[in-house]
Amino acid sequence: MGIDCSLPATAYGLIKRLKQSGLYDFFEDIFDSQSIEFQKPSKQFFDYVMSHITDFNKKEALIIGDSLNTDIKGGQVETLTESHSTFNRKGESSGYRS
């Protein structure tokens, strides 16, 4: 399983939160747009990520994102299942759409 962050600084914070929650070991890799030099929702970005996840299968993939213009649009372009989720400043879910 892989995960994407828009910026390296965001990735470092995410890694910390994943470790604290006990979820870190479920992810094979963490990708950030700056390091791989492609931005979501470009096809190149998703092609890169998919090619770097062992045994990647589109039918088993799920894109979860908070941006309709990058996360969800990219998932739609690649014909992946996507889920839109938003959170308020307290980290509480304020809604989702799949």
C-alpha closest to that of 78 among 53, 54, 44 = 44
d(CA 30, CA 23): 13
What is this structure's pTM? 0.67
Query: How does pLDDT run across 69-93, given as a tens digit for each residue?
Result: 887 787 777 777 766 666 555 554 4
Query: How does pLDDT run across 33-73, given as a tens digit for each residue?
Result: 878 888 888 889 889 988 998 898 888 887 777 778 887 78
C-alpha closest to that of 2 among 54, 38, 37 = 54
d(CA 25, CA 23): 6
Query: How does pLDDT run across 6-37, given as a tens digit for each residue?
Result: 655 577 777 888 888 888 888 888 887 878 88
Q: Which residues make Cβ contacts (< 8 Å) with residue 19, sequence separation at least 6?
A: none
Q: Which residues make Cβ contacts (< 8 Å) with residue 50, sequence separation at least 6?
A: 56, 58, 61, 78
